[in-house]
Amino acid sequence: MSDNEKLREITASEVTVEVTDARTGVTVRRTLPIDFHETANCLRLAAEDAEGRPSELVFMPAATTTAPVSMPRASFHTIKLGQCPAYA
């Protein structure tokens, strides 16, 4: 991707999570069947719950922004259910 092109959206049908256990210090990685959709306006994770029903988490910035997708994750602190708004 050239410097002139901006990454406006990231999508994937699975995510890889890496966690380090607080008690043992053991680090594990898991690839999970979770749909991932990120824009400058939100980060959406969608999967099925234990009963096979659709379930999702949508992380949205506290204020509307048109910042690029590389916005620091710390700014995503509000959790809402629903669809990501369209990229502005």
Using pLDDT thresholds of 50, 70 and 90, give the confidence band for residue 6.
Answer: confident
pLDDT digits (tens, 9 = 90+) for 29-76: 999 999 999 988 888 999 988 888 888 888 887 665 454 444 444 344
Q: Using CA atoms, how far apart are residues 80 and 88, in angstroms rounded to an integer?
A: 19
pLDDT at 78: 42
Residues 6+ apart with CB under 8 A from 42: 58, 59, 60, 61, 76, 84, 85
As a whole number of Å, the CA-based R_g of the chain is: 15
Q: Write down the pTM of the prediction.
A: 0.61
Using pLDDT thresholds of 50, 70 and 90, give the confidence band for residue 79.
Answer: very low
60 half-sphere exposure, CB direction, 13 A CA radius:
16
In the block, tokens 């700014």 appear at: 75
Q: Is the pLDDT of residue 12 over 60?
A: yes
